[in-house]
Structure 1
Amino acid sequence: MGNWLTGNWSSDRSSGYSSGWSPGGSSGVPSGPVHKLEKSIQANLTPNENCLKQIAVSSVPSQKLEGYIQENLKPNRESLKQIDQAVDAIWDLLRSQIPVKEVAKGGSYGRETALRGCSDGTLVLFMDCFQQFQDQIKYQDAYLDVIELWLKIHEKKSVKHEHALVVQVSVPGQRILLQLLPVFNPLRSNENPSSCVYVDLKKSMDQVRASPGEFSDCFTTLQQRFFKKYPQRLKDLILLVKHWYEQCQEKWKTPPPQPLLYALELLTVYAWEQGCQAEDFDMAQGVRTVLRLIQRPTELCVYWTVNYNFEDETVRNILLHQLRSQRPVILDPTDPTNNVGKDDGFWELLTEEAMAWLYSPSLNTESPAPYWDVLPMPLFVTPSHLLNKFIKDFLQPNKLFLKQIKEAVDIICSFLKNVCFLNSDTKVLKTVKGGSTAKGTALKRGSDADIVVFLSSLESYDSLKTNRSQFVQEIQKQLEEFVQAQEWEVTFEISKWKAPRVLSFTLKSKTLNESVEFDVLPAYDALGQLRSDFTLRPEAYKDLIELCASQDIKEGEFSICFTELQRNFIQTRPTKLKSLLRLIKHWYKQYERKMKPKASLPPKYALELLTVYAWEQGSGTDDFDIAEGFRTVLDLVIKYRQLCIFWTVNYNFEEEYMRKFLLTQIQKKRPVILDPADPTGDVGGGDRWCWHLLAEEAKEWLSSPCFQVEQKGLVQPWKVPVPRDLKTSDMVGVFTTGGILWQDQGFLSFV
């Protein structure tokens, strides 16, 4: 069943720091006298365990990290099973003698992140007689006396304590330093917490002048749930980070006054959530990502809203106070008052150690070594006056990135023009760079490039529809043969479509510092040699509209033929508008990443067009307030059911066929957002996409610090017209001088 050994530890409540175990015991990190107990235990480790302690994890080759974890860091399953039995025996003993309703297991042991050998844990005893948080302070010591007494009776051991009682649960191969904690249960029936639970927490803390996080043990059940949902491989990564941290502690000799172990666990979870989310991932990439985050403590601001959020005013004020405090901020996801990342002078040491491992030969095996794209702080907590800096620091690509994209595009374009169809009747008329890199709105670390290849054999929309998959396959075949003679690495993405419209692959070559993701799309040259006027476009649009009327064609299916027009529509805009576009795209990507379960969101292009419209109608200047623009776009997202937006820069109402078609398009269910390059492409889509989910997210963001100005209140959106519903009978005498159709006092106008 395992051996129980007991010892004595104390803490000073008034200071908010523990001389033995931290007040927020659920973090479960040994320090002070408990740390000394661990030292004495280590003296009796087996030779294999002592060898493990001596091997620096930073010297382990990156490709062997996974094996290192399995062989040295993960506890034996049978040992953990015996530990569970021993802990259950303690619980059975205590519940027969004291009024304990239920228990929860916390610390590394409860989070399933315990290291092999010796690790920490808590056994939280929810007392029936504790009716409020304050009772925990009043009566906790008395119940610890009772627990000590019963442990003495059953173990024949003398136990002394003040505010903490620790039992060593020991089985062959594993030891857990288990802290026993009688606490108040604010969740009662084990349900998810409502905001009133955290309102009561704040009131109680104010009344007794409790230290931040002093009652975090009351939420141990939530902590168990939080970690339980994550895959085992992520917990393996946590073990690796924790083991590295323990080796850092050994080097420092003196343990930190407020241990950072729990903070590093949460930081590892954050890195995986923001940068990966895959159950199978490269362990070295995960380590590099965590180390890169540790290197930026003055920027770190990490939190979750799984148990609390910004809806209630009291909780919102707690959160905003925390998020505005000095970095690093890493909030306990179960207790908003508990910043477990608080800097007590050890982050600087940790940063130095992180840099040493990150750039060590064992981990820095390639240049640059890959890592996940994770920002040290979320956009949500960025104050309005720092939005421009956020974009510059985190979103805007640097010159090296742009140079790399250009080199990659040149490589592929050269292949398409000079090699791919060399022995074919098909000729490449032209290649056009598309996507965000061509528009000037690419995000940093978004190394993707679109190339549209216009082919002579594709002589109509029909031929494109019929033959494009054939050309996709041919390009892939030629590329596979060509790279065998080149110093390239190409990895193709398997298409889920039987007749793929696009060839997706990843390219790495000697000239590139890192891999670049490509989409190559065959297209019909509907516009011929593009001119700046409308001379060639009416015929191209007429053929397209007639085809859509005669066949079952999806909206915007041939928009790729108008890539140049799409690119030019955005490319010619002011630099600051492109910055706003980057911000909106980042906001969209963050929501897309966190959304569970996944749903069909509107395309990013719809948000880009909505942003352009907001700027045109609300500002129109080269220099504007980014926060105001951001707020305006979110307001329009919230009003998605009223949106009917289009432009007449490439097509208009002069031709009869186009007028009829456009009037049909703008009568569709809202939102309607027409592609300015392709009138058949409604990227608003009505009910086709889940705009309501995006609108809900936008509403939550209205409480963000992004839209709060000190002493001025909330940032106000631009005044942008939103149209009312239109009837067919109203659409008479429509003019062609603007971009949005709306009705005022019985008259139709273009704004």
Structure 2
Amino acid sequence: MGNCLVGGSSAGPSGGSLGESSAGPSWRSSDGLSGGWPDLPAVPAHRLKDFIHAKLKPSEECLKLIDQDVDAISDFLRSSELPVRGVAKGGSYGRETVLRGYSDGTLVLFMGRFRSFRDQKQNQRELLSVIEQRLKHHKKYSKSVSLGHTLEVLLSVQGQEILLKVLPAFDPLCFGEDSSSQIYRDLKSSMDQVRAAPGEFAACFTTLQQRFFQWYPRRVKELILLVKHWYQECQEKWMTSSPPGFPYALELLTVYAWEQGCQDEDFDIAEGVRTVLGLIKQSSELCVYWIVNYGFEDVTVRNTLLCQLRSQRPVILDPTDPTNNVGKDNGSWQLLTEAAQAWLNSPSLNDMSPAQCWDVLPTSLFITPSHLLDTFIKDFLQPNEKFLEQIRKAVNIICEFFKNNCFKDSSTKVLKAVKGGSTAKGTALKNGSDADIVVFLSPLKSYDSQNKERTLFVQEIQRQLEVFRKTQELEVKFEISKWTASRVLSFTLKSRSLNESVDFDVLPAYDALGQRHPGFTSRPEAYKDLIALCKSSGIKGGEFSTCFTELQRDFIKPRPTKLKSMIRLVKHWYKQCERKMKPKASLPPKYALELLTVYAWEQGSSMNDFNTAEGFRTVLDLVIKYQQLCIFWTVNYNFKDEPIRTFLLTQIQKKRCLPVILDPADPTGDVGGGDRWHWHLLAKEANEWLSSLCFELQSGDSWQKVQPWKVPVVQTLGSCGTQIYPTVGI
């Protein structure tokens, strides 16, 4: 097997990357990219996976031999009467992101004589000298070289080289398996006392770093290899060396992209690459962090974390060390941004239009200061206006088809085709929003007939729409879902140049409202019939809400632009909570949060221009108090007529441990109630979010909490202008 043992240059542990060096020293073994493979930017998107396996991944046999060498060094040092109480493997080697040919690794020796971070700082060099002397007594490792705070050993096995840095360190986890606030308080205190550089004690957390990476799927690590190899090619072109910590920053950025945008174990490598490159292009806005090992609960740790998050971007925090911003700009980001743009524009990676990538923001809402929330909405949440106009045109064409041609050879008439959902209301998010097209058909003359006959009409609409799609050239891509359902037909409209899309549901419905005129709200008879059906048949409330799509749309659409922007913000927050839930939980419907946002604004502000942070905080407060909520509107139905009055009183007077949020268009639709919705999980998230920077306001040198509006949790009957009061307290 044979080991080549020489020294190399080192930045020392203050680099914070645990020995990462992407380009390698001058004696690096070169794979040469032989075998017909071009440079990476010329590799076709569909061949990237093959490229990784053919050129970037070391063989399993080679890695096993490397493992044997590392274990041998570890065992030798443990048996040399050194006070080694444990070891940890770090760097690319420990994270399992070793590139073929050359890569870095770290062997951290946790020394029993180090009782604190300060002990390590004061005695590390002396102990390192002792370790070096021990290694020189072993013929295989006699050429190891000590450089400052590290000892380097080059392992060479079958053309694979690992520059292994040996680091004696204090083990902060010596009294337990997990990190704690006390550990990070001690870290901050020790750093202040000994004037340590940020990340100087990163090696102490190697065990946590290894644990952080071990849970990520194999393909995520393959994507990391691709990104790191691309960075190597860039360096060779620029003829520059790697800044300490930078390759580790790219690894973390890749993990962040997958976590935020995908989370599937089997994903398209090209989509992942495009996402990472897109984030690199936004480096001036990057702020990436994790709270798996530290968080905002402890005051000292919170202040350390907030100091980092408020610092100049880019920020990519080591998930094991809150003092260590491995993404700090040292001049590399601008060069890398230009290289990222060039690869994104290359024909090989841009092999489709639009080239697909994941929907990932360069920064988190959680750490967005309160005064920047409106900017966050504008930059990251609002759909592209050109795309919205294309969607409007396409939907109008599709609606005209439904009205004039879909059933032209039958007696069925389309009375009207109504646009609903977030796109119609003006509350759509930038990507993946929903919309409805409700087709009101003449044969559906009652709720009961809609319930029994809609399946046949869905099948016919799908058949006709397939024919229509093949004959039309729209400004957007028109894709009909292959997934079939008896009650709804789904299709997607995608931009041909942007990564934006809208998912549509086509729903046949009974025209309960009939022809409407300006100022028209609803027909009491429609609600009386609906209530009677629900009582007699046991059909669950809200089953026929599609019949009232126009009223749902018109309840939101005329609202102030800023309120609709805040609805976008709340829906984005909801998506973050939804992504975090593992396993997936049945969170309350987004429509409930939309109505809650309207209620918060109506009761707390009602102004066209208001403080977004205050409004957002108010919505979260209402979510936290979900068990007390009773909210309804009387814009379309009220207490004047029986049996609507009796039914409404029953709805709002029922004993509550879950919220009552009545659909303003459908009194049977309690969109907040029901045991199937896990409000307690959403409330837990809302409570945690109260510590967000979104709700901090700078006042001079201090920070104050944003206060919510004063909003009652119960909508009283008196506030609706009626003199009828419930007989049971609510």
TM-score by length of 1: 0.91
Q: Take 1:433 and 1:688, find their aligned partners in 2: how far apart are those partners?
A: 28
- Cα deviations across residues 344-377 of structure 1 (Å, max 9, x unaligned)? 1111111111111111121122333221111111
Instruction: Give me the whole-angstrom Cα distance separating, in 1, the residues matched to 2:288 and 2:122.
Output: 33
Contact 2:353 2:497 (8 Å CA) reproduced: no
C-alpha displacement of 1:131:
1.1
Distance 1:189 1:322, change over 3 A: same
Does the C-alpha gap of structure 1 residues 505 and 535 become closer, same or farther in structure 2, counting only changes over 3 Å? closer
Instruction: Say if 1:645 and 1:739, in contact at 8 Å, map to a contact too.
Output: no
Please state whether the residue corresponding to 1:561 is helix, strand or coil.
helix
After the TM superposition, which of the residue ranges 591-600 and 656-665 deviates more from structure 2?
A: 591-600
Shift of 1:144: 1.8
The residue type paired with residue 39 of structure 1 is S
Q: Partner residue of 2:652? A: 666
> 2 CA distance for matches of 1:425 and 1:300?
59
CA shift for structure 1 position 178:
1.0
Provide closer, same or farther for how the CA distance between residues 159 and 65 of structure 1 changes in structure 2, counting only shifts above 3 A. Answer: closer
Paired residues of 1:409 and 1:449 also in contact (CA < 8 A) = no
1:323 paired to 2:306:
no
Say if 1:133 and 1:740 are closer, same or farther in 2 by CA, change over 3 A: farther
Matched position secondary structure for 1:388: helix
Query: In the alignment, which residue of structure 2 is the partner of 1:88?
Result: 71
Mapped pair 1:631 → 2:654: no
TM-superposed CA distance for 1:380, in Å, is 1.1
Tell me, yes or no, if the aligned pair for 1:610 and 1:633 is still in contact at 8 Å: yes
Give, as a single letter, the amino acid of the residue that structure 1 aligns with 2:296.
F
Q: 1:308-338, CA deviations, whole angstroms, 9 ceiling, x for partnerless residues?
A: 1111111110111000000000001111111
**Structure 2 counterpart of 1:14:** none
Do the aligned residues in 2 keep the contact of 1:38 with 1:118 (CA within 8 Å)?
Answer: no
Q: Which residue of structure 1 lines up, in the alignment, with residue 132 of structure 2?
A: 148
Matched, 1:715 2:703: no
The SS at the match of 1:400 is helix
Q: Residue 736 of structure 1: CA displacement? A: 7.5
1:23 is paired with a residue whose SS is helix
Contact 1:193–1:307 at 8 Å: present in 2 too? yes
Partner of 1:64: 47
Contact 2:513 2:523 in 1 (8 A): yes
Q: 1:128 to 1:24 in 2, by over 3 A?
A: farther
1:27-61: CA deviations, max 9, x gaps?
43127xxx6x632133xx4xx54548994211111
Q: 1:741 to 1:595 in 2, by over 3 A?
A: farther
Equivalent residue number for residue 103 of structure 2: 119
Aligned residues: 720
Instruction: Name the structure 2 match of 1:695.
Output: 683
Cα-to-partner distance string for 1:573-628 (whole Å, 9 max, x where unaligned): 11111111111111111111122221110111111101100110111111111111
What does 1:203-602 align with in structure 2 at a 5 Å threshold?
A: 203-446=189-432, 448-486=434-472, 491-493=479-481, 495=483, 500-507=486-493, 516-532=502-518, 537-602=523-588
Q: 1:686 to 1:741 in 2, by over 3 A?
A: farther
Cα distance change on mapping 1:458 and 1:366 into 2, 3 Å: same
Q: Quick one: distance in 2 between partners of 1:201 and 1:509?
A: 49
Residue 86 of structure 2: SS of its match in structure 1? strand
Change (3 A) 1:564 1:547: same
More off after superposition, 436-445 vs 275-284 = 275-284
Q: Residue 608 of structure 1 is aligned with which of 591, 594, 599?
A: 594
> 2:632·2:663 contact (CA, 8 Å) conserved in 1?
yes
User: 1:697 and 1:741, CA in 2 relative to 1: closer, same or farther beyond 3 A?
Assistant: farther
**Aligned residue type for 1:560:** T
CA distance in 1, matches of 2:209, 2:517: 62
Q: Can you list the C-alpha shifts for 1:481-538, whole angstroms capped at 9, x where unaligned?
A: 4444556865444558xx5322122346979996543211111111011245668511
CA contact (8 A) 2:432 2:500 kept: no
Could you tell me the percent identity over the aligned residues?
A: 67
Inter-partner Cα distance in structure 2 for 1:93 and 1:114: 24
Deviations 1:651-681 (A, max 9, x none): 0001121111011111232311000000001
Alpha-carbon distance change, 667 to 423 in structure 1, aligned in 2, over 3 angstroms: same
Which residue matches 1:731? none
Pair 1:38 & 2:25 matched: yes
| Corresponding position: 1:621 with 2:601 | no
| Residue pair 1:133, 1:201 contacting (<8 A) in 2 also | yes
Give the 3 Å change call, closer, same or farther, for CA 332–238 of structure 1 in structure 2: same
**Is the alpha carbon distance of 1:448 and 1:640 closer, same or farther for their aligned partners in structure 2, counting shifts above 3 Å?**
closer
What does residue 730 of structure 1 align with?
Answer: none
C-alpha offsets along residues 160-218 of structure 1, whole Å, 9 cap, x if unaligned? 41311111122114221111111111112552212111111111111111111111111
User: Which one is further off, 172-181 or 243-252?
Assistant: 172-181
Tell me the residue number matched to 1:100.
84
Q: Which moved more, 1:461-470 or 1:656-665?
A: 461-470
- Mapped contact 1:647–1:740 kept (Cα < 8 A): no
Q: 1:407-456: per-residue Cα shift (whole Å, max 9, x none)? A: 33134323323333222222211111111110011111235432111111
- Aligned residue for 1:539, secondary structure, equals helix
Going from structure 1 to structure 2, the CA distance change for 1:306 and 1:509 (only over 3 Å counts) comes to: closer
SS class of match (2:720): coil
Residues 263-288 of structure 1: CA deviation (Å, up to 9, x unaligned): 11111111111111112222212111
In structure 2, relative to structure 1, the CA distance for the partners of 1:52 and 1:463 (3 Å cut) is same
Letter in 2 for 1:60: V
2:97 aligned with 1:109, yes or no?
A: no
1:645-660 residue pairs with structure 2 within 5 A? 645-660=631-646
Residue of structure 1 aligned with 2:19, choices 3, 19, 28: 28
Q: Is the 8 Å Cα contact of residues 431 and 501 (structure 2) preserved in structure 1?
A: no
User: 1: distance between equivalents of 2:437 and 2:596?
Assistant: 24
Q: Which amino acid aligns with 1:143?
A: L
Report the residue type matching 1:218 in the other structure. C
Q: What amino acid is aligned across from residue 713 of structure 2 in structure 1?
A: V
Tell me, which stretches of 5 or more residues in structure 1 are unaligned? 11-17, 727-733
Q: 1:164 to 1:470 in 2, by over 3 A?
A: same
- Report the CA distance shift for 1:698/1:285 in structure 2 as closer, same or farther (over 3 A): same
1:729 maps to none
Contact 2:5 2:143 in 1 (8 A): no
2:3 counterpart residue number: 3
CA distance in 2, matches of 1:295, 1:583: 24
Q: Which runs of 5+ in 2 are unaligned?
A: none
Q: Distance in 2 between matches of 1:510 and 1:317?
A: 45
For residues 303 and 106 of structure 1, what CA distance do their matches in structure 2 show? 19
Distance 2:630 2:664 in 1: 13
1:684 to 672, 680, 703: 672
The answer to whether the Cα contact below 8 Å between 2:391 and 2:493 also exists between their aligned partners in 1 is no
CA contact (8 A) 2:356 2:499 kept: no
Amino acid corresponding to residue 153 of structure 1 in structure 2: H
Once the two structures are superposed, what CA deviation does each residue of 1:678-716 show, in whole Å capped at 9, x if it has no partner?
Answer: 000111115431111111111111111111111261111
Q: 2-side partners of 1:287 and 1:736: how far apart?
A: 55
Mean Cα deviation higher: 501-510 or 201-210 = 501-510
